[in-house]
Chains A and B, each alone.
Chain A
Amino acid sequence: MIGASRNLTGSKYLGILSRMTSTAVSARGVVKRFGDVLALDGVDLDVPLGTVFGLLGPNGAGKTTMVRILSTILSPDAGRATVLGHDVVTEAAAVRYNIGLAGQYAAIDQNLTGRENLRLIGRLTHLPREQIARRGAELLERFDLTHAADRPSRTYSGGMKRRLDLAAALVHQPPVLFLDEPTTGLDPHSRRELWDMIRELVADKTTVLLTTQYLEEADILASTVAVIDQGRVIALDTPAALKARLGGTVIELGFADPKTAAAASGALGGTSHRPEQEGPLLRIASDDGPKGLMDILRRLDKASMTPVTLTVRQPSLDDVFLALTGHHAEEAKHTEEVVA
């Protein structure tokens, strides 16, 4: 033991030692501007090794821009970001050997077969020649694409293309993986399949930073979530804590018109329910769904009021936004256009 630590202080090992870190991805004050649009306005984040970190936000919040900076595709205008201790600007080459990127689109060559796509990425990530074919076959098997391995990938279904895209990001076994909205546009079945595959990756000790618009997705996959809005991180917490802030359940009561809704809101006054009114709609976040709902209905019944519609659901990204910012998770369309 002593011998080992003495060895580590030798100059040969100092370089390695300084690279050892328990933070996989780190960003400090990252700013990115596209013309007049401030896409990122001083983002700080730290992703511990071997964890899944969720970047949650609506379209145009700056999620994709952040991923592009972390994956060396864009340079930040200010601030600094590192991946496994390597600066994404000055040590981009080192970063690229350590990251995998799968985007919102299936970034594969549709004219190549699944196998050829993986072989291409193997060559471009400089895998030893003899490993390229084996690694490709392994990934095709793991992502359930072996049966279609020698068909041009343009014949694949949407879910298969995404799986191939994810496989392509893993060819060189990167310790850090960036997934930019990995399930956007997929049907529920394919989405669940992809979630399972991402969870397996984390069991393999891969660090994952994923962006998503779905609170549910962040909840299922991520251990920590940063909520991002207009280029700023507005909350950083575990998914459970984020949801707890909202109460576990959202109850929505619809009335015939805004006036009736206001009267109903009055009838619920003086209780722990805090209805928020929006036109003819009352939205109540409740810690205790069933009990809260019964209590609300009882009180409305006492006041001889009956809602026209009734919805009980899990909190969504929009609810998180409303609670955190007081505004809806509106799509910042102009930003998205510039970024895209």
Chain B
Amino acid sequence: MAVTARPVPRRPVTGALSDATAIAIRYLIAYRRVPQLLVFSTIQPVIFVLMFRYVFGGAVRVPGVDYVDYLMPGIFVQTVVFGAMGAAIGLATDLKSGLLERFRSLPMAPSAVLAGRTFADTGRNVFVALLMTAVGFGVGWRIHTNLLGYLAAIGLVLLFGYALSWVFASLGLAVGDPETAQAAAFPLMAPLVFASSAFVPVASMPGWLQVFAEHQPVSVTASAVRALTLGGPTAWYVIQAILWVVVIVAVAAPLAVRRYRRAV
């Protein structure tokens, strides 16, 4: 008996993209089936908006700006930071269930799992950004520039979220267990979100903390989003925010790819 091995079919250059799309769709279906997965990226930021707008907001003075206009850009950024935890939990779950092992035995593009995951995260962030825009308008937030400024702001937030997906993807693959991934993600996120200018001006923080708080990526991105929606000088903030995105992806993406190659 003799059998000829099946040949490797010729694939179009878009083959890798098609594989990544298949994976992204699978993650997006999960949001529909398990709505709890969306809690952290939807209900939680809504609570933050209400809390900061109506509870803490009265105690915060930001010279020359309505607090709600200061707050909402911070909320947008905070939302994608917390949402990025989904990448860590999702990939850790796939690793633990043996699904990644199966994927690695398939003729799919090796980049597809990580690309698909980060695409799916971006898709979710688009939905969440629109939701938070509506909530923001509901509590009195206004865009003082124009539609283009708003779209640029959302684009920047999505870029930042995309970069963070890579960070949390490598974290999820490194720990390989969804509960551990969740536990490990929070200490990474909390200082980024709270020791930042997302909710309060850094001027009220002690000097040593101000240095960190002013330059870390959450603050920089929030400042850029503020500039884009409030008006005033924007270029320098936007350039800094994009630089952060480039640096984060340049470090985290190779790490995630390396982890994926070793993951079984």
* Cβ–Cβ < 8 Å partners of A84 in chain B: 3-5
Q: Judge if B191 is at the interface, Cβ distance under 8 Å.
A: no
Q: With A and B bound together, what is the CA distance between A200 and B69 in angstroms?
A: 67
In the bound complex, do residue A109 and residue B99 qualify as a contact, i.e. CB atoms below 8 Å apart? Answer: yes
Q: Are B8 and A22 interface neighbours, CB within 8 A? A: no
- Return chain A residues, CB-CB under 8 Å to B50: none
Collect the chain A residues with CB atoms within 8 Å of residue B101's CB.
68, 73, 101, 103, 107
Mark A39-78 against chain B: 1 for CB-CB distance below 8 A, else 0.
Answer: 0000000000110000000000000000010011110000
Q: Is A103 within 8 A of B107, CB to CB?
A: no
Q: Given A103-B98, A105-B97, A96–B26 Cβ distance below 8 Å?
A: no
Contact A107 B97 (CB under 8 A): yes
Verify B5–A71 contact, CB threshold 8 A: no
B29 at the interface (CB under 8 A from A): yes
Residue on A nearest B100 in the bound complex, by CB? A107
Report which of A99, A106, A124, A169 forms a contact with B19, defined as CB distance below 8 A: A124
> Are A123 and B5 in contact (CB-based, < 8 A)?
no
**A280-307 toward B: CB 8 Å interface, digit per residue (1/0)?**
0000000000000000000000000000
**When each residue 1-44 of chain B gets 1 if its CB lies under 8 Å from chain A and 0 otherwise, what string results?**
11111111101000100110011001001100110000000000
Q: Is A21 an interface residue when CB atoms closer than 8 A count as contact?
A: yes
User: Which residue from B4, B102, B103, B108 sits with its C-beta under 8 Å from A20?
Assistant: B4
Q: Do the beta carbons of B107 and A68 come within 8 Å of each other?
A: no
B2 touches A20 (CB 8 A): yes
Select B104's contact among A50, A72, A93, A175, beta carbons within 8 Å.
A72
Q: Is the CB of B105 within 8 A of A99?
A: yes
- B190 within 8 A of partner (CB): no
In chain B, what residue has the closest Cβ to A124?
B108
A120→B8 CA distance, assembly (Å): 19
Is A320 on the interface with B (CB-CB < 8 A)? Answer: no
| Distance of B262 from chain A, by nearest CB (Å) | 9
Selected from A22, A50, A111, A123, the residue in CB contact (under 8 A) with B29 is: A111
Whether the pair A110, B106 counts as a contact (CB closer than 8 A) is no
Q: Which of A73, A106, A152 contacts B105 (CB 8 A)?
A: A73
Q: Is the CB of B107 within 8 A of A96?
A: yes
Complex: A94 Cα to B102 Cα, angstroms: 16
With A71-B105, A96-B105, A123-B22 as given contacts, are A21 and B3 in contact (CB-CB < 8 Å)? Answer: yes
Chain A residues whose CB sits within 8 angstroms of the CB of B26 once the complex forms: 109, 111-112, 116, 120
Q: Is the CB of A124 within 8 A of B33?
A: no
Question: What is the interface residue range for chain B against chain A?
Answer: 20 to 34
A74 engages B264 (CB within 8 Å): yes
Listed residue (B9, B18, B264) with the most chain A CB atoms within 10 angstroms of its CB: B264
Which residues of chain A are within 8 angstroms of B9 by Cβ–Cβ distance? 97, 126
CA distance A97 to B30 in the complex (A): 27
Question: Which chain B residue lies CB-closest to A110?
Answer: B97
Asked whether, in the complex, the Cβ of B264 is within 8 Å of the Cβ of A124, the reply is: no
Which of B1, B18, B34 meets A50, CB within 8 Å? B1
Are A21 and B104 touching (Cβ within 8 A)?
no
- Return chain A residues, CB-CB under 8 Å to B264: 68, 73-74
Of the residues A98, A103, A123, contact of B102 by C-beta under 8 Å = A103
For the complex formed, measure the closest distance between the CB of A211 and the CB atoms of chain B, giving whole angstroms: 14
**B112 contacts A by Cβ under 8 Å:** yes
Query: A121 CA to B23 CA in the complex, in Å?
Result: 10
Chain A residue nearest to B109 (CB atoms) is A124
Nearest-neighbour CB distance to chain B for A136, whole angstroms, equals 14
Instruction: Tell me the smallest distance from the CB of A83 to a CB of chain B, in Å.
Output: 8
Assembly CA distance A111 to B26 (angstroms):
8
Are A86 and B98 CB-contacts (below 8 A) given A97-B107, A124-B103, A125-B108? no
Q: Which residues of chain B (230-254) have a CB below 8 Å from chain A?
A: none
User: In whole Å, how far is A239's beta carbon from the nearest beta carbon of chain B?
Assistant: 22
A222 adjacent to chain B (CB < 8 Å): no
Among the interface residues B99, B104, B107, which one has the most CB atoms of the partner chain A within 10 A?
B107
Interface residues of A in 1-36 (CB under 8 A from B): 16, 19-22, 24
Would you list 27 pairs from A and B whose C-beta atoms are within 8 A, ordered by A residue? A20-B3, A21-B2, A21-B3, A49-B3, A68-B101, A74-B264, A84-B4, A84-B5, A85-B5, A86-B5, A93-B8, A94-B5, A96-B106, A101-B101, A103-B102, A105-B97, A107-B99, A107-B102, A109-B99, A111-B29, A112-B29, A120-B26, A121-B106, A124-B106, A125-B108, A168-B102, A175-B6
Extra contacts, 10 of them, besides A84-B4, A94-B8 (Cβ < 8 A), are A21-B2, A49-B3, A73-B101, A96-B107, A103-B98, A107-B99, A111-B34, A123-B18, A123-B19, A124-B107
